[in-house]
Amino acid sequence: MATVPDSLVGKTRLELKEVLENRSDAGLRSKQLCWHLYRRAEDQLEKMGDLPQALREELATRFVAQPLTTATHRKSTDGVEKLLVHNGDGQVYECVLLPYADRVSCCISSQVGCPMGCTFCATGLGGFDRNLTAGEIVGQYLMLQRLTERRISHVVFMGMGEPLLNLDNVVKALHLFKDEVGLSMRHLTVSTVGLVPQIKKLAEMKLPIHLALSLHSPLDAVRDRLMPVNHRWPVAEVVQTMRDYQQATGRKVTFEYLLIKDVTDTPDQAEALARLMKGFPNVVNLIPFNWVDTDQGFARPTREAVRKFRGILEGRGINVTERTERGHDIAAACGQLAGQHAGRFAKRAALGPVPVLPS
């Protein structure tokens, strides 16, 4: 494997200060470095004009400013942009820029691939390579920030990987987003497949982030089939853990619900979901299945089924949102961030364009 140069992005202010330990002005210089790297998303040391040239040159012999290189950059007709990035070791992962009228958000990866093996997910189907470092996680945000004049204010960990399997690096990245990039932790969303011990660990940290659980079915028999993790921590246990998380942190959690035709979109599951959500002042976010060639024949729900499912939940007083789907023409949707690069995995190369929602 190629040796990957150490990068400044990913280091906390204290760590940068340690890098500069032999200088009397280490405090000031680490502050300036953080400003350039994280606030200005500057990726070239020579453009950090208020740092002494000798220092910039010395740093350049030991570090790169940021770790990532773009392999592919695709723009959707609806303004969504997707980057396929790597850090020189040949392992690629994806991040997406999501501009809205009132804000700019981004979706980033926490791992290269994912070991959780969910049967509906392109990332899961492709296998797992490794965890991303904090620098590679924050680096995705910075790469995307350089694409737009507008400020990216929201980050969702809904790209490749299971964030809670890479908890230390993800938590370090969350702190960097808050302390150095200057984002509100309330605008940082971590989505998890439902790893109970890790959710408990996160609860102890009491970070004011937004936690979302990918629930996808209220029934163990169905969730077992979709998500192998359910065999270990079934529905009742993971939902109780989310309840405890909410109590411990004072932050409302939300639930992602994937609608797969005739698998999860049935009225009986809407009823069971409504019962399960009792006492949560939360939101269920409905996600129509983005077509992936899964071998299971999963299909997108009809509009009518989505409407009916939503109606049942709302009729029971549940707050419901529907994920607006964007970036279809560049395969930027959830579950499709699979590193479609040079046929990295056979399955990944086979992913086709997404059909429009049938009426």
Residue 194, binding choice from ligand SAH, ligand SF4, none, Cβ under 5 to 8 Å by partner class = none
Per DSSP bridges, beta strands 93-99 and 81-86 are: antiparallel
Q: How many helices (H) and strands (E) does the chain have?
A: 13, 12
Per-residue tokens: 11: 């280091």
CB of 116 to ligand SF4, least distance (A): 4
Q: Is 118 a catalytic residue?
A: no
Residues that bind ligand SAH (CB under 6 A): 120-121, 158, 162, 191-193, 214, 256, 258, 287, 289-290, 292, 334-335
Nearer to ligand SAH by C-beta: 48 or 165? 165
CB of 292 to ligand SAH, least distance (A): 4
* Residue 215 neighbours by CB under 8 Å, 6+ apart: 194, 223, 235, 238, 239, 255, 256, 257, 273
Q: Which stretch binds ligand SF4 (CB under 6 A): 35-43, 116-124, 148-156, 296-304?
A: 116-124
Please give the Cα distance from 339 to 122 (Å, whole number): 9
Choose among 66, 69, 168, 63: nearest CA to 110: 168
Structural Rg of the chain based on CA atoms: 21
Q: Which residue is nearest to ligand SF4 (CB)?
A: 124
CB of 31 to ligand SAH, least distance (A): 34
Please give the Cα distance from 73 to 82 (Å, whole number): 6
Q: Is 95 a catalytic residue?
A: no
Q: Which of residues 19-38 bind ligand SF4 (CB under 6 A)?
A: none
- Our measurement of the distance from residue 232's CA atom to the centroid of its chain's CA atoms, rounded to an integer in Å, reads 23
Q: Which stretch binds ligand SF4 (CB under 6 A): 23-31, 55-63, 115-123, 273-281?
A: 115-123
Does 333 engage in binding with ligand SF4 (CB under 6 A)? no
Q: Which stretch binds ligand SF4 (CB under 6 A): 41-49, 64-72, 117-125, 344-352?
A: 117-125
Does 161 engage in binding with ligand SF4 (CB under 6 A)? yes
Nearer to ligand SF4 by C-beta: 113 or 274? 113
The one catalytic residue in 94, 162, 180, 256 is 94
Nearer to ligand SF4 by C-beta: 114 or 181? 114
> Counting beta carbons within 10 angstroms of the beta carbon of residue 279, is it exposed (0 to 12), middle (13 to 18) or buried (19 or more)?
exposed
Choose among 351, 337, 354, 339: nearest CA to 106: 337
Active site residues per annotation: 94, 334
